[in-house]
Amino acid sequence: MTIALFGLGLMGRPMARTLLAAGFNIIGWNRSPLDPSLTEGIPLATTLAEAAQAETLILMLSDSAAVDEMLRRLDPLLQPGQLVIDMGSSDPLHSKAHAARLAERGVGWVDAPVSGGPEGAATGTLAIMVGGTTEDVSRARPILTALGRPTHVGPPGAGHTAKVINQLIVGLTIQAVAEAIVLAEAYGVDPALLRTALAGGFADSKILQIHGARMAERRYVPGGKVTTQLKDLRLAAAMAQAAGIELPHLTDTIARYEILVERGLGELDHSALHMLLSE
- Every domain of the chain and the residues it spans: 2-155, 161-277
Name the strand (E) or helix (H) holding 154: strand 148-154
Q: Provide the pLDDT for residue 85.
A: 98
| pLDDT for 223 beyond 90 | no
| pLDDT for 58 beyond 90 | yes
Q: What is the CATH number of domain 2-155?
A: 3.40.50.720
Q: What is the pLDDT of residues 79-91, one digit of tens each?
A: 999 999 999 989 9
146 alpha carbon, distance to own chain's centre: 17
Half-sphere exposure of 185 (CA within 13 A, CB side): 17
Task: Give the residue-averaged pLDDT of 192-200.
Answer: 96
Half-sphere exposure of 146 (CA within 13 A, CB side): 15
Class in CATH terms, 161-277: mainly alpha
Distance CA(125)–CA(117), nearest Å, equals 10
Task: Give the residue-averaged pLDDT of 217-223.
Answer: 92
> In the chain, what percentage of residues exceed pLDDT 90?
94
Is-same-fold flag (2-155; 161-277)? no
15 alpha carbon, distance to own chain's centre: 12
| pLDDT for 33 beyond 90 | no
Of residues 96, 163, 225, 231, which has the active-site annotation?
A: 163
Distance CA(117)–CA(139), nearest Å, equals 24
Q: Provide the pLDDT for residue 247.
A: 96
110: nearest Cα among 92, 83, 143 = 83
> DSSP H helical segments within the chain, as ranges?
12-21, 48-51, 64-74, 92-103, 117-123, 134-147, 158-186, 191-198, 206, 212-217, 226-243, 248-262, 273-277
Q: Provide the pLDDT for residue 117.
A: 87
> In the chain, what percentage of residues exceed pLDDT 70?
100
Task: Give the residue-averaged pLDDT of 127-148.
Answer: 98
Active site annotation includes 163: yes
92: nearest Cα among 239, 246, 279 = 239
Distance CA(154)–CA(193), nearest Å, equals 42
Q: Provide the pLDDT for residue 224.
A: 87
| pLDDT for 99 beyond 90 | yes
Determine the straight-line distance between the first and last CA of the chain, rounded to whole angstroms.
Answer: 52
| pLDDT for 270 beyond 90 | yes
**Do 226 and 265 meet the contact criterion of CB atoms below 8 Å apart?**
yes
Q: What is the mean pLDDT of the chain?
A: 96
